[in-house]
Amino acid sequence: MSMDVLRQQWPGHLYQQLLREQVDPRPPGCRTPEDSARCRCGAEDRIAQLGEIIDNAARVIDAKLAHPARWRGQTRRALLGYCVGDEATRYRETFNWVVTTDEPVSEDYLIELHQRAVGWRDYRTCHLWVDYGYRHPEPEEIPRLLGLAFDRLNDAGSMWPAAALALGLHLDLVTAHPFSDGNGRTARLAASSILASHGYKSTLMTAVEQFFHLAPRRYLELLDHYRFARACRMRTIEQLLIAMAASSAAAAWAKANRLLLTQVTAIDDATPSPGRLPTTPGQLAHHALLAQLQRIDIEERDPLGPG
């Protein structure tokens, strides 16, 4: 695909639109959220469109990377202040293993991921509740739910984009909740493995952990909508894809238009004060563009990461 075509497909307003959708999404609108096959919320039609946006972004962002980039930045839990002990180190090392291994994603692979990232291998045998009274599936349901998750992933007839397959697996694993702790981390790493195996290289494309850095609480909101049957599976995957697209769209737009990091200058009312998070759409867009260009600039110079 030529750079001229990519410039046409990456108008300047696209990344701002994706950021707005991530931070302030439309209501779910799912009339039959318990059955995605019957739901008419329109999310399924958009999944292919978002997959194309993500693939176009990857062509631009990954163009100068010969190898998958290693982990950089904070985990979602660290950003929210939940990270303890050597958790961040474990996660970084596991992510770096994930993007370089060629092992197929399977149930055995999932257990290996959990051991590396969290520290143990066994499925839970206890009941688990979360806030607002939601109860995770019973322990005896775990084998069936994992079987369903991998059946969906390996469905030979699936026409879904790779990104949708990866984030669908992530959602199914989080829903099955097979471990007593670390289910989110393991599910996000499993999705990263799928993305890396399909050729994505920059962590802007592979680090599911970082898709929600500009809206860190949206992740749990999405999962809660799904858990409490306010959104169907397709709608939830659509929202996860929006977050993935938003995490890379600004850099893809800038690079497609041959903008350099030094050329991206602040607009007076679009720059948040020091120590404050960006809040307006303009601030979010500018903050995202700078962060993404900085990330890809570092990865192009040093894809293997520090140390």
How many of the other CB atoms lie within 10 Å of CB of 54? 25
Give the DSSP per-residue string, 94-119: HHHHHTT--PPPSHHHHHHHHHHHTS
Residue 23 CA to residue 246 CA, distance in Å, equals 10
Q: 146-160: per-residue pLDDT in tens?
A: 999 999 998 865 789
Which tokens in the block code for residue 38?
């019957």
Predicted pLDDT of residue 36: 84
Which of 87, 92, 77, 14 has the alpha carbon at shortest distance from 216? Answer: 77
Residue 129, phi then psi, degrees to nearest 5:
-120, 155
Which tokens in the block code for residue 262?
């030094």
Read off the DSSP letter of residue 122. P
**Segment 220-225 long-range contacts (CB within 8 Å, at least 24 positions apart):** 223/174, 224/132, 224/134, 225/28
Which residue has 């206890």 as its token pair?
126
Average pLDDT over the chain reads 84
Predicted pLDDT of residue 20: 79
Which of 260, 21, 13, 207 has the alpha carbon at shortest distance from 96? Answer: 207
Looking at the chain, the whole-number percentage of residues with pLDDT higher than 90 is: 49
Q: Is the pLDDT of residue 139 over 50?
A: yes
Residue 86, CA distances (Å) to 90, 92, 118, 123, 203 in order: 6, 10, 10, 22, 21
Secondary structure (3-state) at 135: strand
Considering the segment(s) 3-301 as one domain, its CATH architecture is Orthogonal Bundle (1.10)
Q: 73-122: per-residue pLDDT in tens?
A: 888 888 888 877 788 899 999 999 999 999 999 999 999 999 999 998 88
Cβ within 8 Å of residue 252, ≥6 positions away: 6, 10, 15, 56, 57, 60, 61
Predicted pLDDT of residue 28: 84
User: What are the residue ranges spanned by the domains of the chain?
Assistant: 3-301
Residue 21 CA to residue 145 CA, distance in Å, equals 30
Residue 131 CA to residue 142 CA, distance in Å, equals 21
